[in-house]
Amino acid sequence: MSIPPPETLLVDTRRVSCDGASGIRGGAGYRPAALGHPRVFLEIDERGLVDCGYCDRRFVLRGGPADGADQSGLSDIAAGAS
């Protein structure tokens, strides 16, 4: 049984970055990057998605094969970190 990722973001580019904090609202607004993780750059492959190896945030390429799919049924793809 697969567990869905904690957060899924639709993106328009194959190369994305994640710091675990950007764009996430906390009680007093946006959380500072110090509460996240080191910024990593990820590359979405032919499956149309990639998961952050630190926070498990999933990035799905808009219009790609994973766009609109049931995310809980897709396996983790944590690759391309640099």
Written as tens digits, the pLDDT of the chain (82 aa) is 566 657 899 999 999 999 988 665 444 445 555 668 999 999 999 999 999 999 889 999 999 999 988 776 677 655 444 4
CATH code where residue 17 lies: 2.60.260.40
Report the alpha-carbon distance of residue 7 to residue 64 in Å, rounded: 18
pTM of the model: 0.71
The reply to whether 42 falls in a domain is: yes
Number of domains in the chain: 1
Nearest-angstrom CA–CA distance, 60 and 56: 12
Does residue 52 lie within any of the structural domains? yes
